Amino acid sequence: MDNQINSSQAFEDFTKAKRRAHFNSFFNTLTWKNTDLLSLYEVTKIIKPKKETYLGMQTIPVNKIIGSEGRYRDFSSAFYPKKEMLRNRWTSIDRARMDDIVLPPISVYSLGGNYFVRDGNHRVSVAKSMGVEFIDAEVVELDSEVALEPGMTLKSIKSRAVEYERNMFINQYNPTYLPMNEIKFTSPGSYPEMVNHILVHKYYINQDKSEEISFEEAAKSWYKNVYQPIINEVRKDNLLANFPGETEADLYMWLVRKWDEKKRLKQDASIEETVFEAKKETTKGRFKRRINKFLSFFKK
């Protein structure tokens, strides 16, 4: 009899949890909040942890579990089940909870002070739905200087990673000799890549010098002779208008990569030529997107 009651209760618990997933998704969409569970793969692409450390068994706060390694599409950002196919596994775990059966610990990655599930997504979902505060977990820590918080989106994680890299650059090089209010990137990895550009520029200058120049001198020369001429071309062609949400520094980095590609095919390719072709390509793509958006109204 108890088994029947528990099965019925678990069935109802899942239905309620699934309803909450739909309600949360709807509410979050209206308030422009994140509706998806974070993907570990997408987050580590941004943060790029360099090593992992096995921390063993721990009791962790359930509300600090913010993502999943492989099942991030199956659960809402609050870890409620989104799909009917999850019912059997979810209800079997809920029944085990009601029968006081001890389940094996979940397995998680710790990253930026929060957790991503490797194994045990259904157990976490049941725990969150039932208001459980702590859960046993086998923890592997991924090193990260970037702190994460529940409710963060990939976009906000990206912004925080860029802010961290900018602060690291400023703290390491104290670049009062560069207009840092003008040089602002929005993509992770750009500040370290800029340092590499300056170091390459320094290398070529030092080939013609009897005494090696400093990083500061190289940075000033890079800004005057590399960065500024490219930005002048960007401004002359109003290229930034084709890239809403991006900065001149972002376009500098993008154009340098395109220029490098062109020079592999044509050694004497100029930055002016690269900017002209980039504007042609992006303007054409922008026009095509607008046409497709306009035509989509007639297909509904």
Domain edges within the chain: 2-142, 154-298
pLDDT score for 202: 93
CA–CA separation, 30 and 121 (whole Å)? 27
Continuous segment of H or E residues that includes residue 117: strand 114-119
Contact 128, 75 (CB under 8 A): no
Prediction pTM value: 0.74
CATH architecture of 2-142: Alpha-Beta Complex (3.90)
pLDDT score for 298: 33
Residues 6+ apart with CB under 8 A from 131: none
- Coil, strand, or helix at residue 151? coil
Per-residue pLDDT of the chain (300 residues; tens, 9 = 90+): 466 777 788 888 898 989 888 777 665 555 545 567 899 999 999 988 889 999 999 999 999 999 999 889 899 888 999 999 999 999 999 999 888 888 899 999 999 889 999 999 999 999 999 999 999 999 999 998 888 888 788 888 999 999 999 999 999 999 999 999 999 999 999 999 999 999 999 998 988 777 889 999 999 999 999 999 999 988 888 888 888 889 999 999 998 888 777 767 666 656 677 676 777 676 544 434 433 433 343 343
pLDDT score for 33: 57
CB atoms within 10 A of CB 111: 25
Nearest to 116 by CA among 173, 169, 42, 40: 40
**Tokens representing residue 251 in the block:** 């376009």
